[in-house]
Amino acid sequence: MASFKSDIQATRSTAAAGSSAIIAGPIRLRGIIMASDGGGLGALELTTTSNSGTTLFYGDVPTGDVINLSFPEDGILFPKGIFCKTKTNIAAYTLLTDKYSGPGLTA
């Protein structure tokens, strides 16, 4: 079986639930890093299509902790972009995705 490497993009966000995509367009989430704000159990819910769309990821973070998750195989496909539906007691999160084109990015 041949294996190859692919580039990833790290997108840090502090965005809460909103109508704007954190990352627009079809994208694969390969991993995520979530940091608690220390105010209690943290929760992050990511959806596709809109912030009221289908939930494709829900993660919990213990108080005062940082969680780093890598998803096996091809990750989680967000066919219409990544939106935040719920962000509770999360200081920030970093989305590790396939490299995408956007302002300020170079090949």
Q: Quote the distance between the C-alpha of residue 84 and its chain's center.
A: 8
> What pLDDT is attached to residue 8?
84
103: tokens are 């302002």
pLDDT of residue 18: 78
pLDDT grade, residue 41 (50/70/90)? very high
The pLDDT score that the predictor gives to residue 106 is 42
The Cβ-side half-sphere exposure at 40, using a 13 Å CA radius, reads 4
What is the model's pTM? 0.84
